[in-house]
Structure 1
Amino acid sequence: MREAPAKAPILVANAGSSSLKIRIFDSSGATLFTGVAAEIGGTSQLVLRGQSRTAALADHAGALSALLDAARADGFDPATLGAAAHRVVHGGPDLTASCELTPDVLARARAAAALAPLHNPPALAVIAAIGRAWPNLRQVACFDTAFHATIPEIGWRYALPDLPETRGIRRYGFHGLSYASLAARLPSASGVQLPRRLLAAHLGNGASLCAILDGRSAATTMGYSPLGGLTMGTRTGEIDGNAVLDLARRVGIERAAQILNRESGLKGLGGASDMRVLERAETAKATFALDHFVHWAVHHAGAMIADMGGCDAVVFTGGIGENSARVRAGILDGLAYMGLAYDAENNAAGARRLDRPGSPIMALIHPADEESWIAEEARRLISHAA
């Protein structure tokens, strides 16, 4: 017999363009099962309990089936699920909060797929696969763009004419689930009240900054797509529109997209997209790539701070933000004009302070955990609607 939805386990699915990660949480928030399918459609891998093995995974529906089979083998019965919750990268201009997947919401999410062609279709494929397997299971979508719905129009609108051809081309912002989780959880994790003017840095293979003013997004560095803003693992970050047009004329649109999204950033400058590899390499190219990452993070931080009218705290999250003391030190050194005194010896992750006592600006680390936040959002929605 299925448990009441508010108490039953929740499956969280995080679908990438060629990957799928699932986590199953019980009602207390503890993880019951974790599994990852990678390189879907190619030389696929299943990663379970830290061990990887090859698998034939033609598409995301097949990957979901394989992961659920692994969950069964691990002793979990998917029939006991109370809901499934999904990270959907793009909600478009209309879906600005997490919501239960009704037919209308699903239609809007499909319409937004054109704005995130690498990410929304896989999420929608997983949603459809779960719907076929359990037609009565409630499903929730949590949108990476939703947290940035509070950015004022003057901040999200490009200076484009209002034409049919330009509609929908605007700044949306991403990493919203990470920032929403951070804003909600930082006070209890750090023991300090949420700073009024918080500069949040989600630094990983994808990287962005967010100006969080009074707990709400006031500005962010990513724009129409996750390509804009900071130097990233394989993405260029900020680049002039005419340079993009010129590159597309030279090599074609598809090849230009490949270069801009998958061959640039740290990989293009230093030969590797992994910051850990670059830090170990200590070659001139690797050092330049690392310095480029830091420089443009500091550069864009100035704009975020200006949009808030100052800064009371800086918080780092994401794989690089949590684990690279060298990057954190470089960024904080670049922000030293604000009076921040950085304590290089205090580098442990876990909502820890990095600044010295008496510094007018706090610096903290906060671990990212988007999946558990998605589970919380889903449970809130289901409990409220019950």
Structure 2
Amino acid sequence: MRERQILTLNSGSSSLKFALFEQGADLVETMRGQIEGLGTASPHLQARMRGDALADERLGAADAADPEAALRVVLGLLQRVTGREAVDAVGHRIVHGCLAFDRPVVIDDDVVRSLETLNPLAPLHQPHNLAGVRAAHRAFPEALQIACFDTAFHRSHPWVNDTYALPREFYDAGVRRYGFHGLSYEYVVARMKEVAPREEKGRMVVMHLGNGASMCAIRDGQSIGSSMGFTALDGLPMGTRCGQLDPGVVLYLLQEKGMTAEAVTDLLYNHAGLKGLSGLSQDMRELEAAGTVEAMQAIAYFVDRIRRELGAMAAVLSGLDAIVFCGGIGEHAWQIRERVCAGFGWLGIALDAGRNRASETLISSDGSAVRVFVINTNEEMMIARHSAALLASRGND
């Protein structure tokens, strides 16, 4: 019997990330890549096969005009490398599952219709996630299409960490704190079971720091609180998103500045965060290299908000046993990790400078009461695991 092939897709507004897994006795990643610059004049394809470079090329604008066109490029790559296009399941990252979806599900027309109603809650992600679903269904009509939700991991929140101080009917209607980056947090918890099982059973704060950034308070492997809330705008400042904001600012922009709801949405999602503060870029590497006053202030604000949230989450957990950094910034920017942890000796945090600069898995000092880790997150593997489980439950051979 041939090994099953599971394709994972993460369709965004400007990129399509993909990975291919073989399911035998274990899940083995055979290919990983991404197409950046969807809808632009110069999209770019990068891919690796079993760790070796496979593709690194500029595409024509028509090749990646939308998720469906980009998926045709991925399909061509699969055919060229594997000699076939048979895919048994396609696992999709879906950012918002609201109340109805608290675990991965097989996608049908009713599921798609339900998810379309959530587009306003995640306008940067949800419409593009669903475009990827439609494109994958047309490309692989016989494959099982599976939705894996970023919000599902956080459905274990206690009520006080799940609600807003609004009349109760809003909570009952679904206006509550959902949290995001759940697939990343779920993978990190699984890895911590392997590398630090004692801490995984304890009180952890995991920081997913990248273009999208959030933090999660986790006790015994369960999400207790998240910095993100009803939408992926809340919490930490991000690449282009504002993070925590007094709602009165939104009222002021609407009522006094005469901005439309669409203009405010565009401002808060696309022109705020590190990019808005620096006036330069949302890329942490560019900001660190630039060294301008505005770039340094943007970084300082980013770090300060993380530190504030870390103190709050330590209070939510009634103490702290471990901190985990993940995501592009969390995994690679040692200076940010150093600045986040500085001055937290009173909480029992002490970094080892050499380990931190080398981005080792354990970066705290031997005497640190709170152990600090760097874990390379792998949302694609988490999606593949969920997809494999649903394939098995359906009895597909």
Q: If the TM-score is normalised by the length of the shorter chain, which range does it land in?
A: over 0.9
Match of residue 253 from structure 2: 247
What amino acid sits opposite 2:372 in the alignment? A
Match of residue 132 from structure 2: 126
What amino acid sits opposite 2:123 in the alignment? P
Please state if 1:20 is matched with 2:16. yes
Query: How is 1:253-272 mapped onto 2 (pairs within 5 angstroms)?
Result: 253-270=261-278, 271-272=280-281
Match of residue 38 from structure 2: 40
Match of 2:292 among 256, 276, 283: 283
Deviation per residue, 1:307-352 (Å, 9 max, x gap): 1111101010001101111110111114322022211111267761
Please state if 1:135 is matched with 2:137. no
Match of residue 315 from structure 2: 306
Cα separation, partners in 2 of 1:258 and 1:11, compared to 1, 3 Å: same
What amino acid sits opposite 2:12 in the alignment? G
Asked if 2 retains the 8 angstrom alpha-carbon contact of 1:178 and 1:202, the reply is yes
Which deviates the most, 211-220 or 333-342? 333-342
Q: Percent identity?
A: 38
Match of residue 71 from structure 1: 78
Output the CA distance in 2 between the equivalents of 1:165 and 1:209.
Answer: 22
Which deviates the most, 184-193 or 237-246? 184-193
Output the CA distance in 1 between the equivalents of 2:171 and 2:65.
Answer: 36
Q: CA deviation at 1:135?
A: 2.7
Q: CA deviation at 1:166?
A: 8.7
Please state if 1:59 is matched with 2:66. yes
SS of alignment partner, residue 150 of structure 1: coil
Q: CA deviation at 1:33?
A: 2.7
SS of alignment partner, residue 328 of structure 1: helix
Output the CA distance in 2 between the equivalents of 1:272 and 1:129.
Answer: 31
Asked if 2 retains the 8 angstrom alpha-carbon contact of 1:35 and 1:46, the reply is no
Cα separation, partners in 2 of 1:190 and 1:162, compared to 1, 3 Å: closer
Asked if 2 retains the 8 angstrom alpha-carbon contact of 1:323 and 1:349, the reply is no
Match of 1:9 among 5, 14, 33: 5
Match of residue 230 from structure 2: 224
Match of residue 356 from structure 1: 365
Match of residue 50 from structure 2: none
Match of residue 52 from structure 2: none
Asked if 2 retains the 8 angstrom alpha-carbon contact of 1:198 and 1:211, the reply is yes
SS of alignment partner, residue 50 of structure 1: strand
Asked if 1 retains the 8 angstrom alpha-carbon contact of 2:225 and 2:313, the reply is yes
RMSD between aligned residues = 2.1
Consecutive unaligned residues in structure 2, runs of 5 or more: 47-54
Match of 2:101 among 95, 115, 126: 95
The normalised TM-score by structure 2 is 0.90
Which deviates the most, 157-166 or 299-308? 157-166
Q: CA deviation at 1:193?
A: 5.0
Which deviates the most, 163-172 or 330-339? 163-172
Please state if 1:188 is matched with 2:188. no
Deviation per residue, 1:238-280 (Å, 9 max, x gap): 1100101212332222222222111111112222211111112
Output the CA distance in 1 between the equivalents of 2:131 and 2:237.
Answer: 30
Instruction: State the number of aligned residues.
Output: 381
Please state if 1:31 is matched with 2:39. no
Asked if 2 retains the 8 angstrom alpha-carbon contact of 1:237 and 1:265, the reply is yes
Asked if 2 retains the 8 angstrom alpha-carbon contact of 1:90 and 1:120, the reply is yes
Q: CA deviation at 1:213?
A: 0.8
